[in-house]
A and B are shown apart, each in its own frame.
Chain A
Amino acid sequence: MAALSKEQKERYRRQISVVGEDGQVKIGQTRLLIAGAGGLGSTAALFAAMAGFGTIRIIDPDCIEETNLNRQLLYREADIGRPKAVTAAKALLAMNSSIDVEPVTAAIGTVPAMDLIGKIDIVIDGLDNYPARFLLADAAWKCGIPFIHGAVEGFYGQVSTIVPTTSPCLRCIIPNPPPPRETPIIGVTTGMIGCVQITEAIKLATGNGVPISDHLWLWDGIRQKSDRLRIERIHACHICGKDGQVPKEERIR
């Protein structure tokens, strides 16, 4: 295993005492795809850069708007109108110039998913709609890449770490997603959930702890409570089930 440089040992000194030198090397060798550079994605990307993940590929089709500034912590007022992915990359490199950041200004679905997750070790879900989530999560599952799902609304958030081929896939966890709409959201929620997602990524990269796998973790900021809901894999699921594809119309609602 590669050794840490003198500079890296100093930079990461406080967390090497948590994850060990081996753990820090593993974080540095881990390549993340951060899908979405909004509230979740910008929080996740910032903490990933600070932790020293070696490569961060970040994709988002949008430009920064004034209404993003209540939660999207990589952006400043002067950035309004600029593309998110490129602006995020600059902010991440300003935080940590020793990592590689690859901005992609495109929407999920317009770039072949297999290209997007090529040479990636972990996908972080910072998307704002389920059609895009399913597209990317299905591709990640097929490639054997963990997909750390996160979603938010108001003071509520959820996380699940989907690890092929042991845990249920996103379609088993959320078979009935809500329709796309402008979600009410406050910055503390995206901050909270984005940090939990990178906590999961650090655990997967270093082999520490137990991921939120086979469970959906739900955070309730209003009552300051969190719960883990156990989720079972569906044998008939066409993504992760052992029984293969079952047409949707045969499922019972």
Chain B
Amino acid sequence: MKVHVKAFATFREVMDNEVDMDFPKSATVRTLLAELTGRFGGLGELMFTAPDTLRDFVNILKNGRNIYFLAGMDTPLDDGDVIALFPPVAGG
């Protein structure tokens, strides 16, 4: 199945702005992140504090829904998903 990934803000400094990816049917957001961090050096450090722990400010949307409210990194991927990765900014 095909998944389209969009990256924003500082994530763009270590990875392509948009990436098309292909996964087997059982893939989850965890599978996607493993593939991305393998492909783009520096992304793992930016997104994770430990191998399975995302940094607090990493927001991941699956078709507009934050995985925080779904099944976290176990959220299953579906064909045609648009996954957005963004670190919100805070300053005023």
Contact = CB atoms under 8 A, between A and B. Distances in A.
Contact of B57 (A154, A158, A176): A176
A183 B57 contact: no
A251 B88 contact: no
Contact of B56 (A176, A222, A251): A176
Given A218-B9, A218-B86, A41 B92 contact: yes
Interface residues of B, number: 30
Interface in B36-75: 54, 56-59, 61, 63-66, 68-72, 74
A231 B61 contact: yes
A183 B59 CA distance: 19
Interface string A194-207: 00000000000000
B68 A230 contact: no
Interface of B: 6, 8-10, 12, 17, 54, 56-59, 61, 63-66, 68-72, 74, 84, 86-92
Contacts of B66: 172, 175-176, 231, 234
Interface in A98-144: 125-130
Interface in A198-253: 216, 218, 220, 222-223, 225, 227, 229-232, 234, 236, 251-253
Interface residues of A, number: 47
Contacts of B61: 229, 231
A154 B13 CA distance: 13
A174 interface: yes
Nearest to A152: B91
A185 interface: yes
A176 B59 contact: yes
Interface of A: 36, 38-41, 125-130, 150-154, 156-158, 172, 174-181, 183, 185, 190, 216, 218, 220, 222-223, 225, 227, 229-232, 234, 236, 251-253
A220 B84 CA distance: 15
Nearest to B72: A252
B6 A227 contact: yes
A228 to B, nearest CB: 11
A40 B86 contact: no
Contact of A156 (B10, B58, B71): B10
A238 B74 CA distance: 23
B79 to A, nearest CB: 19
B72 A253 contact: yes
